[in-house]
Structure 1
């Protein structure tokens, strides 16, 4: 088990990647502290874990990460419950509004930045002192392919994640001497409730069928399929584990090869 006897915080629990991250951490032997703004989403994730027969210790804390005091409360409760924090996986996000930049709702951009950048950084900075005190830890930022391969109408979301990418590189440099690793997983299309719902909505609005949309997206991916949420979660959990103990400041592309760095 990659995370045996570890304590992992996962932010942004919800249908799709957030739940899969918590579930995979539990499968890999970790005790898990989960946070989301909506408490029922935490209950759903706990049920998924228990339905697999896993006896993982679970802490659920309803948290809006854009509020620094709520981040502090989450971290304090995690320390009180488990005594340490070995891994933080920052998955919480706000997609913002979707429109061309020249028509941008900059208020929506600020809301996305409050979660994707400032909220993520706030939670990270609450965790860092505890990792320093215990002699190390691992932080995984869930980033997006949109920062590497721009996509129409996603400028605000991409800008917020690009800011996070720059901060992540600086964090890796600064925290390395404290044995704290900081890495990013850059997710592309992920097959799960969010994308499936988007495709269904497009079909219902008179667009191509769900299967036609899947084929069109997969045609641009060298592996010829949209990666599953669960497989993407495994990549992030790897970065958090000791199997990646020689890796920091890395940007791992998890998109089936749709973006190929050179």
Structure 2
């Protein structure tokens, strides 16, 4: 088990990647701390874990990571419950407004930045002192291929994640001497509830069928498949594990090769 007896905090629990991260952490032997704004999403994730017969300790803490005091309370509760925090996986995000830049509502950009950058950094800053005190830890940032391969209507989201990428590199440099590793997983298209729902909306509004859309996207990915949420989660779990103990500041592409210029 890659995370046996480690305490792993996953932010942004919800259908798709967030749930898969929590589930895979449990499969790998972790004590799992989950946060999201919505209690029902935390309950759903725990049900998935228990449905596999896993009895790992699970701590669920409703949290809005854009609220610094809630981030502080989340980390304090984690330490009170388990005495340490070995891995933080920053998965919470806000997609922002889907619009070309010339038509963008910058308030939407600010909302995305409050979660994707400031919220993620706020939670990370609460974790760092505890990781220093215990002699190390791992921080995993869930980033996006969009920062390097622009996609129409996703500029605000991409800009917030690009800011996070820069801060992550600085964090890796600063925290390395304390044995705290900071790495990023760059996701692209991921097959799961969010993408499937998006394709269904497009189909219901007169667009191509879900299967036709799926085939069109997959055709532009070197592996010719849209990576599954669960497979993407495994790569992030690897970055949190001791199998990546020689890595910090790394940008791991988890997108079927879609980032490659072609």
TM-score (norm 2): 0.99
For 1:14 and 1:186, locate their aligned partners in 2 and report how far apart those are by CA, in whole Å: 19
Provide runs of 4+ in structure 1 moved above 6 Å.
Answer: none
Q: Which residue of 2 aligns with 1:56?
A: 56
Q: Per-residue displacement from partner, 1:114-135 (whole Å, max 9, x unpaired)?
A: 0000000000000000000000
In the TM superposition, residue 45 of structure 1 has moved relative to its aligned partner by 0.1
Could you tell me which runs of 5 or more consecutive residues in structure 1 were left unpaired when the two chains were aligned: none
Q: Distance in 2 between matches of 1:235 and 1:204?
A: 33
Is 1:178 the counterpart of 2:175? The answer is no
How many Å apart are 1:161 and its aligned residue?
0.2
Name the structure 2 match of 1:14. Answer: 14
Task: Look up the match of 2:138.
Answer: 138
CA offset digits 1:31-81 (Å, max 9, x no partner): 000000000000000000000000110000000000000000000000000
| Counterpart Cα distance in 1 of 2:98 and 2:258 | 21
Q: Distance in 2 between matches of 1:8 and 1:203?
A: 38
Q: What is the alpha-carbon root mean square deviation over aligned residues?
A: 0.9
Q: Deviation of residue 260 (structure 1)? A: 2.2
2:173 is paired with a residue of what secondary structure? helix
Tell me, in whole angstroms, the C-alpha distance in 2 between the residues paired with 1:210 and 1:261.
26
Q: Please list, as runs of the form range in 1=range in 2, the aligned pairs for 1:29-178 lying within 5 A after superposition.
A: 29-178=29-178
Q: CA deviation at 1:261?
A: 7.3
Aligned length: 262
**What do residues 65-124 of structure 1 show as CA deviations (whole Å, max 9, x unaligned)?**
000000000000000001000000000000000000011100000000000000000000
> Is 2:201 the counterpart of 1:201?
yes
**TM-score normalised by length of structure 1:** 0.99
Q: Provide the residue aligned with 1:219 in structure 2.
A: 219
Give matches, 1:186-197, under 5 Å.
Answer: 186-197=186-197
Q: Which runs of 5+ in 2 are unaligned?
A: none
